[in-house]
Amino acid sequence: MNRWLLPEDIADVLPSEARKVEALRRAILDLYRSYGYELVSPPILEFLDSLLTGTGSDLNLQTFKLVDQLSGRTLGLRADITPQVARIDAHLLNRSGVTRLCYAGTVAHARTPVGRSAREELLLGAEIYGCAGWEADFEAITLLLKSIRLTGLSKIYLDLSHAGVLAGILEEVSISESNVEILYGLLQTKDLSGLAQWTSFLPESIAKALQVLMDLNGPPGKVIENAKRLLPKNKTIEQSIADLERLVIASGGLGEGLEISLDLADLRGFQYHSGVMFSAYVDNLPQPIARGGRYDHVGQAFGRSRPATGFSFDLLTLAGLSLPSQPETAIFAPWVDDADLQTTIDGLRSKGRVVIQLMPQDLEYLSEYQCTHQLTKNGNSWEVILLK
């Protein structure tokens, strides 16, 4: 076996791509900081029962598991970071007011996620705790769009849904969790015949509402109008539609190149979310580049349930869609033992300049840096001149 081979769907990030990823990571985290978000860095390993507590239990099949040689307990290699951030908000910070947290860290999947090509991702996200208003959802959407636009991508497709619509349709009946999963799959695949067969045990009004739900997708105005007219009239559904309508109106002012649509049957993560759900798409990528939404029960398993909304995305995928980066300019310096030269180099580096000491014949082997200038001795001092 070749020792340099990596596991399936695990890959190295080489210099040019790593530089682009790191530059984008810094720019996005600086953006979040300007909004008042605080950076947290949860551990990559935790006790499994903590990682899979509450909403994290859906990640069981995606989580690598190993035994801690110190405690004998089972550890998990995280496949998501949101449950960890919820634990931090609930127990370590324990604030009563609004808390804004952001993160950037590696996650690993035991199986390659559908639509992805890698089992390792650099997950970056932002969460708002303690605010139940639509303003928090709007801020999350705003930050997500700005994050994507930092790559130079201008055309973004925002798809909105709401977990409350299906919850409102089903609130008068009791359905097992396994049956809800089946229902979710039928809605997701737009399987009308399968849905008609599955709903045969339900009251006719509920079965009809579920069939209507499958067709409620497209331009926001049309979908909202049809939803108000065709869906059952109850407080949960009416509030959900009102939330979506308000967000659509507000999001319409988030810049050119944004196309908004609604799909009320797009309920990925229905059991995870409690309100508005959103997915962002870009050209040349069939799967969403990012997902987010409201999950007010995320901290309940940690003993402190409070409003929460946010989003996350794989930074490696996002960076891969951005324009190729040009080699960074640098200053070439000879590799000689000279105290004055070293003082000059230190001064340039302290000002943010890249100075590379090389033998002249090694210049041609540089790929990540383009040496446009060189340090040349002029009398008793070293000067930066244009490289000939």
Mean pLDDT per 10-residue segment, the chain (388 residues):
83 89 96 98 92 70 92 94 90 90 96 85 96 94 96 93 90 79 82 85 88 92 95 93 95 90 82 86 92 84 84 94 82 91 95 90 77 90 89
Looking at the fold, whether 4 and 148 belong to one and the same domain comes out as yes
Per the structure, how many domains does the chain have? 3
Residues 220 and 335 in one domain: no
Report the pLDDT value the prediction gives residue 28, as an integer from 0 to 100.
97
- Assess contact for 110 and 222: CB atoms under 8 A: no
CATH of the domain at 143: 3.30.930.10
Q: Please say whether the beta carbons of 116 and 11 come within 8 A.
A: no
pTM: 0.88
Query: Please, how many CA atoms are within 13 Å of residue 183, restricted to the half-sphere of its CB?
Result: 25
Give pLDDT, residue 37: 98
Q: What is the DSSP letter of 96?
A: S
Distance (Å, whole) CA 155 – CA 158 = 10
180 and 196 part of one domain: yes
Q: Do residues 293 and 231 both lie within one domain?
A: no
- Per-residue pLDDT at 342: 94
Same structural domain, 271 and 297: no
| Residue that is last in its domain, among 281, 305, 337 | 281
Report pLDDT for 56.
Answer: 52
| Domain co-membership, 111 together with 238 | no
**Is 346 found in the same domain as 298?**
no
CA distances from 223 to 137, 217, 219, 241, 263 (A): 20, 6, 6, 10, 8
> According to the model, what pLDDT value does residue 382 have?
93
Give the model's pLDDT for residue 270.
59
Q: Are residues 304 and 234 in the same domain?
A: no
pLDDT reported for residue 113 = 82
**pLDDT recorded at residue 192:** 85
User: Are both 163 and 58 inside the same structural domain?
Assistant: no
Which residues span the domain enclosing 359?
Answer: 328-386
